[in-house]
Amino acid sequence: MRRIVFLSEGILQMLIGVGALVSGFLLVISPDGKLMAMPLEMLEVYAGMFFGLGLMIWIFVQVSMIGGCHWLQNLYFSLGILQLVLGVLMQDVLRES
């Protein structure tokens, strides 16, 4: 049973990772979202701020659970802060227009 659970979890994580890679690649080559049939208006919601906050929470929990403070953890936490700040600025710009 243990083997099945671990194998299932590994397969699930692999599928999620492949999906994230494909989606990320499609957004890199077509940032307007056309290849994913994603309307540009989706950027007008608070998604960027939530993703940045989510990344910061994820890194905080990771450091709390496994310890570390590896430079990559600091980098990704900083990127989360940057994403949160840019999301707030994006909302200000959208309100002004």
Tens digit of each residue's pLDDT (9 = 90 or more) over 26-47: 989 998 888 988 887 776 678 7
25 and 43 both lie in a single domain: no
What is the band of 9 on the pLDDT scale with cuts at 50, 70, 90? very high
For the chain, helix (H) and strand (E) counts, in that order, are 3, 0
9 and 44 both lie in a single domain: no
Region 63-78 average pLDDT: 88
Query: Cα 33 from chain centroid?
Result: 16
79 and 96 both lie in a single domain: yes
13 and 59 both lie in a single domain: no
Name the residue with tokens 């994230």. Answer: 20
Region 10-35 average pLDDT: 90
46 and 30 both lie in a single domain: no
51 and 68 both lie in a single domain: yes
Contact 11, 20 (CB under 8 A): no
Note the pTM of the prediction, 2 decimals. Answer: 0.61
Q: What DSSP state is assigned to residue 29?
A: H
Give the domain extent around 69.
39-97
pLDDT at 43: 65
